[in-house]
Homo-oligomer: A and B are copies of this chain.
């Protein structure tokens, strides 16, 4: 069964395809009611589905945006992607999803792919430390907005972020107020910007109270498994621990497991603090005390911002910062 095209409809309706195109695209001020209805009916009857590839080639726009995240399997990114998709849909865009695994090469490959697909813009949670992907986007004049992760070395990029440092400061203050002094911090992977920002919040506050000790800083990879591994190391190496501040929830969930397994009472023996407020943090027992990011809002805003840029509407601020919020629950 051959796919039906505008020409088919035009032929059947006895008009030109220009006319068909116009009525199907609602640019029909000058088309008589009669022709309009005739065309609409035929299109409907034949289940006509426009070929948007042809349309894109002609208009140079695709009504598609790309989103590049490290890993959709990470709840933070699945939630934020979901938000992006929802808002994109509202504005008539659809989204191509790309998992970079924090690898620069994959990022680059995907950026090329997206450009070649004529995406109208991209939302980019940069994982790698190299920035070829961003340069490519710039060279090809593709609008893009950074999400979650700031990128050093560039001025004036659009972006939607959370005030990571502030969040950790709040968290550490809260632990301190509750009498915790031996606070271990688990940072994220070395070269990722948010990992550094969160660490700096910890360092700042601990130094302020004169209790910073670099041996209390551990590194892991933002995954549950990583949280598990690092926690085994921590309880082996440090004798007295009042609290562990995991710089994301996934690691906290993994870590809490190890603590409970080893007979620690949470939060009596040891407090736990996470970061993100992903869905699952409310469902573990005890519930995770964490620094909440407005994940859905961030996804939504990044999409709105991108679409504004695409449409050349003036945006007041190139960078949008969301405030994190301490969410007191059962683990601290």
| A residues with CB within 8 A of B | 1, 3, 47, 49-54, 56-57, 62, 64, 71-73, 75, 78-79, 81-82, 85-86, 94-99, 112-113, 115-118, 136, 139-141, 224, 228, 253-254, 256-257, 260-261, 279-280, 283-285
Contact = CB atoms under 8 A, between A and B. Distances in A.
The 7 tightest CB contacts between A and B, nearest first, are: A52-B116, A97-B97, A78-B78, A260-B285, A53-B118, A53-B56, A73-B82
A256 B283 CA distance: 9
Contacts of A53: 53, 56-57, 62, 116-118
A81 B72 contact: yes
A75 B72 contact: no
A113 B63 CA distance: 11
A49 B109 CA distance: 11
Given A94-B96, A139-B1, A257-B283, A118 B51 contact: yes
User: How many copies are assembled?
Assistant: 2
Contacts of A116: 49-53
Most buried by B among A54, A78, A98: A78
Nearest to A138: B1
A82 B279 CA distance: 19
Contacts of A50: 116
A141 B47 CA distance: 13
Nearest to A55: B116
A73 B279 contact: yes
B49 A112 contact: yes
A285 B285 CA distance: 8
B97 A85 contact: yes
B79 A224 contact: no
9 contacts: A47-B136, A49-B112, A51-B57, A52-B118, A53-B117, A71-B82, A82-B99, A224-B280, A257-B284
A79 B224 CA distance: 15
Contacts of A97: 81, 85, 95-97
A12 B279 CA distance: 55
B57 A54 contact: yes
Contacts of A73: 75, 78-79, 82, 279
Contacts of A62: 53
Contacts of A82: 71-73, 99
Most buried by B among A81, A94, A253: A94
Contacts of A228: 283
A65 to B, nearest CB: 11
A106 B204 CA distance: 48
A79 B99 CA distance: 12
Contacts of A3: 140
B99 A96 contact: no
Contact of A257 (B51, B113, B285): B285
Contacts of A139: 1, 47
A139 B99 CA distance: 32
